[in-house]
Amino acid sequence: AQKITQTQPGMFVQEKEAVTLDCTYDTSDQSYGLFWYKQPSSGEMIFLIYQGSYDEQNATEGRYSLNFQKARKSANLVISASQLGDSAMYFCAMREASFLSYTGANSKLTFGKGITLSVRP
């Protein structure tokens, strides 16, 4: 069964510095997708970045980049130039290919426990 591990209980970073949030995963599928979501105290899950298992380049979305190391089964999120608004819970998630429908639509994300990030002014 698929599993996502996020072991950092809480992270602190100074404003304008970079921070790396760790994520390791376990799956027997060759095809899968990895996601990072941000959850502020309001509760809504905000999509940040996606990495496909066959993507050769690491994904980047603005200040977010994903350090994908397939052999080590890790998908760490790097946030550059942290801002106060980055303070939130961050979740790593995985979707296995077996849960893709013929339409290619999404289903069943498996989430890690999350990491709390606090940005200090």
Partner 1 sequence: KAGVTQTPRYLIKTRGQQVTLSCSPISGHRSVSWYQQTPGQGLQFLFEYFSETQRNKGNFPGRFSGRQFSNSRSEMNVSTLELGDSALYLCASSLEGVNEQFFGPGTRLTVL
Task: Please tell me whether residue 24 binds partner 1 under the rule CB under 8 A.
Answer: no
Q: Which stretch binds partner 1 (CB under 8 A): 16-24, 63-71, 72-80, 109-117?
A: 109-117
Nearer to partner 1, 14 or 60 (CB): 60
Ranges of beta strands (E only) in the chain are 3-5, 10-14, 19-21, 24-26, 32-39, 46-52, 60-61, 64-69, 74-79, 88-96, 110-111, 115-120
Residue 82, amino acid = S
x/- mask, partner 1, residues 55-84, rule CB under 8 A, reads ------------------------------
Q: Which stretch binds partner 1 (CB under 8 A): 7-15, 18-26, 76-84, 110-118?
A: 110-118
CA distance 90 to 118: 11
Task: Please tell me whether residue 42 binds partner 1 under the rule CB under 8 A.
Answer: yes
Residue entry with tokens 């994904």: 59
